[in-house]
A and B are shown apart, each in its own frame.
Chain A
């Protein structure tokens, strides 16, 4: 009697199945977790030299398919996958392996719940990455503000001024101009009598007068000034973007170059016929749905140091003439209408006794703000169920073992 050839009788594994097995496999999960650990470690080292914002962008932005790490300013020629995509693959891996592929049964329910919790955390990270906004709102004691300023995004604003008051403020967003270092783009304003051509965008630049220093690289000169590019600041909030703009008339004729710079004190004024317009580059402003008044600000420091012990801002939120008092302090933010106000800092730096202070809040708009907390609770429920189930099964087996003995 011949023994049947087991290999030949086994159904061939399809490519789709192999891919599914790989995507849902434990090996992939382990590798991805290891990679995440390595990326986090390398990013922690690199941010000392390159700054936090630049490093986070390099390692974890969705546009970074792969990265080349740098240690002590020297590039390591080992390409590593970008952190965003490692997390995305881990999410797919957990969904396929930890929920779909896992054996189904009562015993696996806690496992599935725990995996779901981690998936919520990872998806929340993705939502935060794509949809959250961060800025700061500075307000002096006794003053009211309704606007936060983005930490990083520079925009170009164009508006007509009538009786010294700005009318409708048109906004060209940062993502529409930040690729224009060596490109030109025409921005059409349907509601204004002209368009703008923007070019020569620099992430960090300073307008320099030709009388201070002659241009080194044939930079474009506008009214005795040109833009000098500077290396990106370690603290990316301190970057001051700039660009050149030209007014384009409806008949296509172009005006001379105009410098628009984040490092400017006043906007450029454009006279068009008998109408007056201003053009400006500034950090993007986002309007709050309510007014925030700073009633009182107090700061306490550890004795003999400038290390903050406690910052407390007593504020009043006013919306539709309804007022509500609140206290914002370190680790106790104000949450309202999808916005979170964290106590960030205060000013002016080195303020003396009796000097009027202002408080600075970090304003965060994040649809996934609470997702890490939800994720934590889901994982806690999963693990709790796991332990309780194990305990119950152990007691049952012990009981039946003793009974049979």
Chain B
């Protein structure tokens, strides 16, 4: 049986002459590969629309770039940025957010947290594999002013493993304040290379004292 025994039809032009059948087939295959060579259009008229869905809630209008890309909420605490620190955009977890130190690795941030003061202190110590405190140990921590109230001063150093699964960073140190402000836990945390944290500790303590609660 020959190929010429089978009628091969074009898309809209009836039966193709037998001698042309195999060539027509090859031409068809070649045509199929042409779309990838088409020049992309410089202009497109948008005609597609979609129906409303259960996901189409009232949009947040006039969101700032920080709100659009970091979901930053207006901070309930305010402070002036200390000299030498760099204010960076807030995030969901960091109400106020800074970088410090020559290495660019030093970080300071202010958060409102859940749990108790002891829970938060021990969570921080756990990030440095330090011995956790009990109530007595907590009461022995130095008391420092923060936002018109008082909190406890926490320090630690060693390998810092607070990076959500990131490898531990050796040679790091922690300094910070944890306070219970009427049931809300306010934390000011500084983490960075040991030497840079040692230098910036005084500034951190002044900074915590200068925090004010927004009305």
Contact with B along A252-281 (1 / 0, CB 8 A): 000000010101111111000000101010
**Measured CA separation A263–B65 after assembly (Å):** 12
Which residues of A have CB within 8 Å of B62?
269
Which residues of B have CB within 8 Å of A261?
69
Instruction: Give the tally of cross-chain contacts (CB within 8 A).
Output: 145
Which residues of A have CB within 8 Å of B68?
207, 264-268
Among B12-51, those with CB < 8 Å from A are 19, 21-23, 25-26, 33, 36, 40-51
B63 contacts A19, C-beta separation under 8 Å = no
- Nearest B residue to A285, CB-CB: B53
Choose among A17, A147, A225, A259 the residue that contacts B3 (Cβ–Cβ < 8 A): A17
A65 contacts B53, C-beta separation under 8 Å = no
Which residues of B have CB within 8 Å of A63?
36
Which residues of B have CB within 8 Å of A207?
65, 68-69
**Measured CA separation A287–B44 after assembly (Å):** 24
- Spot the interface stretch: A32-40, A185-193, A333-341, A395-403: A185-193
A166 contacts B22, C-beta separation under 8 Å = no
B50 contacts A171, C-beta separation under 8 Å = yes
**Measured CA separation A287–B53 after assembly (Å):** 7
A211 contacts B55, C-beta separation under 8 Å = no
Which residues of B have CB within 8 Å of A145?
53-55
B44 contacts A188, C-beta separation under 8 Å = yes
- Spot the interface stretch: A172-180, A296-304, A311-319: A172-180
Choose among B26, B33, B45, B64 the residue that contacts A65 (Cβ–Cβ < 8 A): B33
**Measured CA separation A144–B55 after assembly (Å):** 10
Choose among A65, A161, A224 the residue that contacts B59 (Cβ–Cβ < 8 A): A161
A190 contacts B48, C-beta separation under 8 Å = no
A405 to B: closest C-beta gap in Å? 38
**Measured CA separation A15–B87 after assembly (Å):** 75
Given known pairs A19-B26, A225-B69, A287-B53, the reply for A170 and B48 (CB within 8 Å) is yes
Which residues of B have CB within 8 Å of A176?
44
**Measured CA separation A144–B21 after assembly (Å):** 56
Given known pairs A20-B3, A144-B54, A265-B68, the reply for A190 and B45 (CB within 8 Å) is yes
**Measured CA separation A17–B4 after assembly (Å):** 9
Which residues of A have CB within 8 Å of B33?
65
Choose among B23, B63, B65, B86 the residue that contacts A225 (Cβ–Cβ < 8 A): B65
Given known pairs A170-B49, A209-B89, the reply for A269 and B55 (CB within 8 Å) is no
Which residues of A have CB within 8 Å of B61?
161, 164, 269, 276, 278
Q: What are 8 A-to-B residue pairs whose CB atoms are below 8 Å? A: A144-B54, A147-B54, A171-B48, A209-B69, A266-B60, A266-B71, A269-B61, A285-B50
> 10 extra interchain contacts, Cβ-Cβ under 8 A, other than A169-B51, A291-B54?
A146-B53, A147-B53, A169-B50, A171-B49, A173-B48, A190-B47, A207-B68, A261-B69, A268-B63, A287-B51
User: Interface on B for A, CB 8 Å cutoff?
Assistant: 1-4, 6, 19, 21-23, 25-26, 33, 36, 40-56, 58-71, 86-89
